[in-house]
Chains A and B, each alone.
Chain A
Amino acid sequence: MNRYDVLVIGGGLIGCASACYLARRGLRVFLAEKNDLNSLASGQNAGSLHFQLEHRLIEHGDALAAQFAQVLPLNAYASRLWAGLEEDLGASLGVRMDGGLMLAATDEETELLHKKQALESKSGIDTRMLKGAALRACAPYLGEDVRAASFLATEGSANPRLVTLAYARAAAKAGAGVYAGCEVAALSRGGGVWRADLIGANAPAARICADNVLNAAGAFAGRAALLAHLHLPVMPVPLMMCVTDRAPPAIPHLVQRAGARLSMKQARDGNIIIGGGWPARFRTANGTPDFSRRPKLIHSNVARNLALAVQAAPLVAQRRLLRCWTGVVGVTPDQLPYLGAVSKSSGFYAAVGGSGFTLGPAYASLMAELIATGETSLDISAYDPARLSSVNGFMEGAA
C-alpha cells in the first residue's frame, strides 16, 4: 500500500513543482514537508525572474564568469516555462515578464555589463545595452546616477506567496500525496527500495517505501542527504528582504545593479520589493548558529539596501518601509545547482541550489523527466552531483 515511485523531501517550490511534474508523468509520488508548505526560502524570496547573469556571478573576474555562464541554457529553458506557467497551473501567480534592467552607475559597472553581454549572447540570451535618452524613455523612474543598463525583455518577477501552493494543488490534482507537517526522520535501503520513517502531526503512516528519493530540502538538503549516508555540501546563507507600502504603478521592470547588491520590482499589488542578497545573521545557541530560528536582521544592511534602491529609483524615498523579513537560502560551493542523481545505483536524486525561484520550475521539470525516462531533453551534465563523487565514492552503499 505505502509503496511509491518517488519520495520527494521538501515542500518548497522545487519539491512541489517536482511532485506535480512527476505525478503528471504517471508516477506515484509522496511529498513530505516537515513544516508548512512554502514556509522557508520559497515563500521568503524576492520573486525575481532573472535571466541575465547576476551580480554575484560576474563580480569575481572573467574565468569564473565563464564558468557561471554554464547556467545560461537553463535560464532560457526556465524563461519559456514561466511564460506559460499561469495557464498551465490555472492560477494567478503574479507573473510579470515586462523586462529587466541591470544598472550601471560607474564606468567599471558599464564595462562589466559589456563583458556580461558577450557571455550571454553566446548562449542565445538577447540582452540589449541602453544609454541616454533610450534608457530614460524605457525607464523614466531611474535616478540620475544611472548611466547605462542592460535590458532583457523576458525578465520580470512572480509572486513567491502564490507559486508553490499552485504547484501543490496541481500535484494533488495529478494524484500526488502532498503532506505538510510530515518529516522524514530516517532513510534506509534494502531489497532495492528506500524505506522512509515519518514523524509529525500529519504523517499519514509511520513508514513508506519508495523506489527513488528526490532531495528538495533546500538549505537543509545536506542534512537530508546524510539520512541516506551521502554528502551534499549545501551552505545555509541568511538573507534579508524589504517591502514598501503600496505605491502607484511606476516600476514595470525587474531592476538590478551590476556592481552592487540590489534587486527591486513592483508587485501587481503596488508594493515595491527590495533585496539583492544582503545578509542577515544567524542566531546562535550555545555559541553555534541555530538554523532552526529565523535569522536576525542587520539594520545597517537595511539602510544600505534601501539607499541603493533610492539611488536607482528616487521615488522609493517617498514610500514607507512596511516590513522586513529574513530567510535562509542554500548555496553550493561552486554556486552551480545540484541537478541529477547523487548516487546513480540507488536512485537518490537532488535538485538544490542556484537561483531556485527563477529556475525551480525548470529543475523540477527536468528532474521529473530524468527520473521517469532516465534522460533529459536539455544537457544538465554541468550540474551533475557526480562532481561530488570524490567523496560519495566512499559513502556509496552505506545506506
Chain B
Amino acid sequence: MTNEATTYDAAIVGAGPAGLAAARELSSRGARVVILDEQARPGGQIMRQRPAEFAEDGWLSGGLYRKLKALLREVESLRELDWSMSTTVLGVADADGDEGFVLTAVRADESLTFRAKTVLCCNGCYERPAVFPGAVKPGVMGAGAVQTLLKSQKIVAGDAIFFAGAHPFQLLVAAQIAQAGGRIAGVAFAQSRLRVLSILKEPWLLVSHWRVFATAFGNLVRLRRAGVPLYFGYAMKEAIGANRVETVILQPVDSGGRARTRAPTKRVDADLLAMSYAFEASSELARQVGAQSRWSELSGGWVATHSQLMESSVPGLFVAGEVTGVAGADASLVEGCLAGLGMAVALGSIDAEEAARCAAPHRRRLRNLLRFAQYLARLAAVPAQLFETMAGASAVVCRCEGVTRADIAEALAGNAQISTANSLKLFTRAGMGLCQGRLCYANAAAQMAAQRGARVETLGPFQAQWPARPVSIASLIAAGDEDCVASRTTKIRKPCR
C-alpha cells in the first residue's frame, strides 16, 4: 500500500504501551494515524516481540503482561492504522508556515518524510550505564538488553551471568534467565537487604500492586532455591578479563554508597555482566522540536513537561510514557490514553469537556500508578555516593569517544568558565560520538555537578540535535534529489505477523 503526500492527523513515534494506547484512542475516533518505530514489530521494549518467523509459544506468559498483550493484539488488528516499522525517526520539526509537523526518518537506508497535524513522542527510555573500570568491556550489557535478547530472540546471552545494580528490575530478569535454563552467577544490590525488603512494609502498596510484589517475591524465592548467591550492599568495583569479562570484583558499600574499605571485596567468575542502575528518559526527540523539559533526579533525568492531556509546551506536540518520567509500562499505557484524548481535542474531533470526562478515570489511575512509581524509584534510587565510589579516575565516562573521569576532571579544573553540560561536551568530546551523548550525559553531568558544587539541573541537557540517530549520508543525498523535503512516496505496511 502506498500513499503519497498524506498529511496524517497524528504521527506516533514509538510503538510501546504509550503509543499503542494513543493509537487505539485516536483510531476509535476516526483519525488518520501512522505509528513509527525502529523495531521490526510493535510492542516497545516491554513487549519486544519474537520475529515473525519464530513460534510464539510461551512469549511473555504471566499475569503481569496480560493487559499489555491484549492492547498490542487489539491495535495490531486495527485495519485503518498505518505502520512504518523498522523506521528510525531522525527528527520532528514544526512545518514552516503550514500547520503541523514534518518528521524525517530512514527505513533500510531510504529517506522518508511524514507530515502530521499532531505528533506524539513516546519513544521510551534507555538504560544508564554505570562508570567503573572495565565497564565498557565486551561482555558488559544492560540488564534490559539481556532481557530483550531472551524475550525476543530466545537467547541466553552468556554461560554465567552476573547481575549488578540498584534496580529491582534485575531480579525479574535474573529469574527469567534462570527459568529459561541459564546459569546466574549471582545478583548484587548496592542497597542493604533490609532496604530491598522494605517494600514489604508498605501495606497499601502491597494491596494495590499485589501482582508486582508477588512476582518480585516469587523471583527472590526462585533465585534463592536455585542456589543463586545474592549480595546486598555491594557495588561494582571492576570487571576484569583479557578480551572480555571473565571476573567481576565487588566492593562492599554502606547505605550512602561509600566504600567500606575494611570489609573484603568479592570476586565472582562470570562471562556476562548485566547492569541495572537506572533508566533515562528519551526526551531528545521532543526537545529537538523545542519542548520544555525539567530535571528529575529519580525518574529519568531531563523529562518532558506536559499538560493534563499530555501536550508539551509546543502546541500540537504530545508526549507520553517514559519520555515524561520513567514510571513503568502501566503508567505509560495510561498516559498514552490521555495523550490520545488530548490529540483528539487538538484535532477537533472531541470537545474539551468530553475529553475531560473520558480522562477522569485514567487520571485517577495514573495518580495511583505514579505514586507507586515514585515509591519504587526511591527504593531503587542509587545511594548518593555510589556512582562516585564505583568510578576510578581512569574509568571511561563517554564510551564512544573514550573520555575518562580524569579527562573531565582536568577540563573542569583547567577551565573555570565551563558552566554548562554543553560546554563540557564541546571541550572534552564527551557526548560527541555515535550514541550522541545518550549513554554518557548522566554520568558526565553528575561528575561536573559534584566537582562544581552545582545542581545538575543548572547545567542543562546536551543540546538535542538533528539527526536523532547517526544516518547514512548516501541515503540523505538520494532523498535530496527531489527538491526540498518534497513528500516522498511512502510505503506503509501492516505489521507482519
Name A's B-contacting residues (CB within 8 A).
11, 36-39, 43, 161-162, 165, 168-169, 172, 178, 180-181, 202, 244-245, 269, 281, 283, 293-294, 296-297, 299-300, 302-304, 306-307, 309-310, 316-325
Contact = CB atoms under 8 A, between A and B. Distances in A.
Interface stretch (B18-26, B224-232, B263-271, B413-421): B413-421
A325 B465 contact: yes
A223 to B, nearest CB: 22
B285 to A, nearest CB: 14
Contacts of B415: 165, 168-169
Nearest to A324: B466
Nearest to A302: B476
Interface in B426-461: 426-427, 429, 432-434, 436
A37 B417 CA distance: 7
B435 to A, nearest CB: 10
Nearest to B415: A165
Contact of B427 (A162, A181, A304, A316): A162
9 contacts: A43-B426, A168-B417, A180-B417, A297-B93, A297-B466, A299-B91, A299-B466, A316-B473, A323-B465
Contacts of A318: 473-474
Interface of B: 91, 93, 96, 102, 104, 290, 414-420, 422-423, 426-427, 429, 432-434, 436, 463, 465-467, 470-474, 476-477, 479-480, 483-485
Contacts of B473: 244, 306, 309-310, 316-321
A169 B480 contact: no
Given A178-B417, A281-B96, A297-B466, A161 B434 contact: no
B486 to A, nearest CB: 9
Nearest to A319: B473
A331 to B, nearest CB: 22
B427 A165 contact: yes
Q: Which of A269, A297, A304, A316 has most B Cβ within 10 Å?
A: A297
Contacts of A302: 476, 480
A303 B477 contact: yes
Given A300-B483, A300-B485, A39 B476 contact: no
A307 B427 contact: no
Contacts of A38: 423, 426
Nearest to A39: B423
A248 B423 CA distance: 27
Contacts of A11: 417
Given A38-B423, A299-B466, A306-B473, 10 more contacts: A36-B419, A165-B418, A165-B427, A168-B417, A169-B414, A181-B419, A245-B470, A281-B96, A299-B485, A300-B480
Contacts of B465: 323-325
B476 A321 contact: yes
B336 to A, nearest CB: 29
B426 A317 contact: no
Given A300-B484, A320-B472, A36 B96 contact: no
A354 B290 CA distance: 31
Contact of B422 (A39, A202, A323): A39
Contacts of B480: 300, 302-304, 306-307
B426 A310 contact: no
A325 B431 CA distance: 14
A321 B420 contact: no
Nearest to A11: B417
Given A297-B93, A303-B476, A318-B474, A269 B429 contact: yes
Given A36-B417, A37-B417, A300-B484, A324 B467 contact: yes
Which 3 residue pairs across A and B have the least CB separation, nearest first? A303-B480, A300-B484, A320-B470
B433 to A, nearest CB: 8
B478 to A, nearest CB: 9
A319 B96 CA distance: 29
A94 B332 CA distance: 46
Contacts of B485: 299-300
Contacts of A181: 419
A325 B466 CA distance: 7
A166 B134 CA distance: 33
Nearest to A243: B432
Nearest to A162: B427
Contacts of A299: 91, 93, 102, 104, 466, 484-485
Contacts of A293: 290
A370 B404 CA distance: 43
Nearest to A294: B463
B368 to A, nearest CB: 38
A306 B480 CA distance: 9
